[in-house]
């Protein structure tokens, strides 16, 4: 297994922040990853896994081994004629997987079209878009414990999925490298059309196109019209989670700001639109040095060129402080800050 020293990570994160890996490895099999983790040469060093870098804020040098799994493959495991299970290597590109499944006529992932990144990272924050979250399709996953090299299986419940959250993000950050993911898909299209603009466009399609491929095309078009392409304007997608507040808090906000958008959740809480709060706080299209909030999508923090992780931290803190001062609502950053590494021993094991 080739391990290189002092690897430049600028091209490995979609915010294009300058950062380096002390040691860099790209294992292409579970065995290679296990051998790397168990190699006495690397004992005692921190280990960090990254995928496509589309949900990262990098800064400085990441100490120890930085591992980018390259495991490939899309395999049908089980097919009863109406539904099937597909096992996918962590190093596959997520949108390539969605395009592949849709091209086979399989349904289930189409609403998650065009989300950047790898399959292995998708469970970490339980990716979601247009009314579907990964946790609704994931059967199980396999992951290598970065302390021991042991391969472990996690069923859906063991992943402790939440809104942009999972066991791997919250309870055991940095402890596991996910190596494969098993997903349940359907042969019959069952379009999920909770979003009004998606539903309206879908209804206008000729009936022959009212299938998974039709949904994928519409989702891609909607995303391209709303989100800046990181290849043109470096960004990490939504920079803050949509905050959840109690119904009472929402009613109080609504009394003061009648236009405040909110989506009532099954548990009675209300999900606010972080983009709206940021826009109202005056940050839409505004910059602080080389970074700013996008002029069409206030929730997206963009690098106008030459920014580093510290500049991103400063802007994020200022935006969150202004939203707190105006609305009394806290914003939680969605992308993961790497540059300091958590000890794998400092985390709990799953129940
Ligand atoms: C333009 C844009 C739009 C986006 N839209 C959405 C959206 O609609 N919905 C959404 O949910 N997200 C969205 N995102 C965020 C991002 O695409 C997802 O979080 C994606 O899953 C990150 O994948 P990645 O491979 O780039 O992971 P990285 O950014 O490299 O890593 C993210 C985290 O996962 C960990 N990780 C990565 N690979 C593994 C692995 N194999 N095993 C264990 N841990 C791992 C890393 O340590 C890190 O903590 C968007 C991002 C961009 C830039």
From 16, 47, 164, 201, the catalytic residue? 164
User: What confidence score (pLDDT) does residue 348 get?
Assistant: 34
Tens-digit pLDDT profile for residues 286-302: 999 999 999 999 999 99
Region 297-323: what's the mean pLDDT? 97
pLDDT higher than threshold 90 for residue 345? no
User: What confidence score (pLDDT) does residue 1 get?
Assistant: 86
Rounded distance from Cα 121 to ligand 1 centre (Å): 5
pLDDT higher than threshold 70 for residue 343? no
Q: With pLDDT > 70 as the criterion, what percentage of the chain qualifies? A: 97
Q: Pick from 13, 33, 11, 9: which is nearest to 22 by CA?
A: 9
Question: Across-strand partners of 88?
Answer: 74, 181
What is the set of domains in the chain, with CATH numbers? 3-71+340-345 (3.30.43.10), 74-226 (3.30.465.10), 235-335 (3.90.78.10)
Best of 14, 25, 55 for a ligand 1 pocket test (most atoms within 8 Å of beta carbon): 55
Region 315-323: what's the mean pLDDT? 97
In whole angstroms, give the CA distance from residue 349 to residue 333: 25
Tens-digit pLDDT profile for residues 78-122: 899 899 999 999 999 999 999 999 999 999 999 999 999 999 999
Rounded distance from Cα 309 to ligand 1 centre (Å): 17
Beta sheet of 83-89, edge-to-edge order: 74-79, 83-89, 176-186, 138-145, 151-155
Rounded distance from Cα 13 to ligand 1 centre (Å): 10
> 100-139 burial by CB neighbour count: b if 16+ within 10 A, else e?
bbbeeebbbbbbbbbbbbbbbbbbbbbbbbbebbbbbbbe
DSSP sequence for 271-298: EE-HHHHHHHTT-TT-EETTEEE-SS-T
Taking the CA of residue 129 as reference, the ligand 1 atom at the shortest distance is 8
Region 53-80: what's the mean pLDDT? 96
Q: With pLDDT > 90 as the criterion, what percentage of the chain qualifies? A: 93
Region 43-50: what's the mean pLDDT? 96
351 — pLDDT class (breaks 50, 70, 90): very low
User: What confidence score (pLDDT) does residue 60 get?
Assistant: 94
Taking the CA of residue 54 as reference, the ligand 1 atom at the shortest distance is 26
User: What confidence score (pLDDT) does residue 347 get?
Assistant: 34
Q: Which protein residue has the closest C-alpha to ligand 1 atom 46?
A: 50
End-to-end CA distance of the chain: 34
3-state DSSP assignment of residue 323: helix
In whole angstroms, give the CA distance from residue 160 to residue 171: 9
Extract the tokens encoding 135: 């946790």
Handedness of CA 200, 285, 54, 229 (dihedral sign): positive
Mean pLDDT for the chain overall: 94
Best of 17, 19, 116 for a ligand 1 pocket test (most atoms within 8 Å of beta carbon): 116
Min mean pLDDT across 60-74, 172-186, 332-346 is at 332-346
Extract the tokens encoding 287: 């910059």
Rounded distance from Cα 207 to ligand 1 centre (Å): 34
Tens-digit pLDDT profile for residues 172-204: 999 999 999 999 999 998 899 999 999 999 999
Tens-digit pLDDT profile for residues 222-268: 999 999 999 999 999 999 999 999 999 999 999 999 999 999 998 99
From 142, 201, 238, 249, the catalytic residue? 238
Extract the tokens encoding 119: 């399959």
Active site residue 164: yes
Taking the CA of residue 49 as reference, the ligand 1 atom at the shortest distance is 47
In whole angstroms, give the CA distance from residue 117 to residue 114: 9
Active site residue 238: yes
Phi, psi of 10 (to 5 degrees): -55, -40
Q: Which protein residue has the closest C-alpha to ligand 1 atom 22?
A: 117
Rounded distance from Cα 125 to ligand 1 centre (Å): 7
Rounded distance from Cα 219 to ligand 1 centre (Å): 18
Q: Which protein residue has the closest C-alpha to ligand 1 atom 2?
A: 237
Q: Pick from 235, 243, 95: which is nearest to 163 by CA?
A: 243
Taking the CA of residue 235 as reference, the ligand 1 atom at the shortest distance is 53
User: What confidence score (pLDDT) does residue 251 get?
Assistant: 96
DSSP sequence for 83-129: EEEEEEETTSBHHHHHHHHHHTT-BSSGGGTT--SBTTTTTTTT-EE
pLDDT higher than threshold 60 for residue 340? no
How far, CA to CA in Å, does 122 sit from each of 93, 112, 308?
10, 10, 25
* CB-based pocket (< 6 A), ligand 1: 14, 49-56, 69, 90, 115-118, 120-122, 124-125, 127-129, 168, 176-178, 227, 230, 235-237, 336
């Amino acid at each position: 297994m080739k391990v290189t020293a002092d690897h430049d990570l600028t091209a490995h994160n979609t915010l294009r922040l300058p950062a380096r890996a002390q040691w860099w490895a790209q294992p292409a099999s579970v065995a290679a990853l296990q051998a790397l983790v168990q190699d006495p040469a690397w004992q005692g060093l921190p280990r960090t896994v990254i995928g496509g870098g589309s949900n990262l804020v990098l800064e400085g040098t990441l100490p120890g081994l930085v591992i980018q799994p390259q495991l490939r493959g899309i395999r049908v495991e089980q097919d009863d004629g109406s539904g099937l299970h597909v096992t996918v290597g962590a190093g596959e590109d997520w949108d390539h997987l969605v395009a592949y499944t849709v091209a086979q006529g399989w349904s289930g992932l189409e609403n998650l079209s065009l989300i950047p990144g790898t399959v292995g990272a998708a469970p970490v924050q339980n990716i979601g878009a247009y009314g579907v979250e990964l946790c609704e399709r994931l059967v199980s996953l396999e992951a290598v414990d970065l302390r021991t090299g042991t391969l472990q299986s996690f069923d859906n419940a063991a992943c402790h999925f939440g809104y942009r959250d999972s066991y791997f993000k919250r309870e055991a950050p940095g402890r596991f490298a996910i190596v494969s993911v098993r997903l349940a898909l359907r042969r019959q299209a069952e379009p999920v059309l909770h979003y009004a603009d998606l539903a309206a466009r879908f209804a206008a399609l000729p009936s022959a196109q009212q299938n998974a491929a039709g949904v994928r095309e519409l989702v891609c078009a909607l995303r391209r019209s709303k989100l800046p392409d990181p290849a043109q304007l470096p960004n990490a997608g939504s920079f803050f989670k949509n905050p959840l507040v109690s119904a009472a808090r929402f009613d109080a906000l609504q009394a003061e700001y009648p236009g405040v958008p909110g989506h009532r959740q099954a548990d009675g809480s209300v999900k606010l639109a972080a983009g709206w709060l940021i826009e109202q706080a005056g940050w839409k299209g505004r910059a602080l040095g080389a970074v700013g909030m996008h002029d069409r999508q206030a929730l997206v923090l963009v690098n106008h060129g030459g920014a580093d992780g510290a500049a991103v931290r400063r802007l994020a803190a200022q935006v969150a402080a202004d939203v707190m001062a105006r609305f009394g609502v806290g914003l939680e950053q969605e992308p993961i800050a790497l540059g300091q590494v958590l000890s794998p021993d400092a985390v709990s094991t799953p129940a």
